[in-house]
Amino acid sequence: MSKTLRIIIVDDSKTILAQLGALCSHIDDVEIVGTAVDGAEAVKLVTALKPHLVLMDIVMPNMDGLSALRIISSAAPESRVAMISSVGSLNSRSEESFRLGAFQVIGKPIDPEQIEELIINELESLRQREGV
């Protein structure tokens, strides 16, 4: 029996939403349960749907990714969050991401293999946790 990894993607760019959606669509046992275009929408969606994985941009309008991460980390601690950063994975904002609870920071432009590896690892961890 397989277990499905439920993902929410958060980015104000339609290009990135399409890019990540295309990648997830050809990995087995992965379902995108929602997308959001800013931090405020992300907080609502993640706390309501409690996905296994959130892929979230840092620079966004209304509420940025770091502010949303701070709320999600306490409101939905079971959801694991990977931040997607246009400012590089070694920037101080990336350090802040880890401090606020992200388990990984991915730099842009997105490396498809890095995302694929991350999702497959998360799927594997989920199966181990659930004893599948």
Scanning 2-10, 41-49, 108-116, 122-130 for contacts with another protein by CB under 8 A, the matching segment is 108-116
What is the rounded CA–CA span in Å between residue 129 and residue 86? 32
Residue among 10, 96, 106, 109 nearest 51 (CA): 10
Q: Does 28 bind another protein (CB under 8 A)?
A: no
- Based on CB atoms, which residue is closest to another protein, 48 or 90? 90
Peptide bond preceding 109: is omega within 30 degrees of 0, i.e. cis? yes
- Residue 76 contacts residue 46 (beta carbons within 8 Å): yes
- Asked if 59 interacts with another protein (CB under 8 A), we say yes
**Which residues of this chain interact with another protein, rule CB under 8 A?**
12-16, 18-19, 22-23, 25-26, 59-61, 85-88, 90-92, 107-113
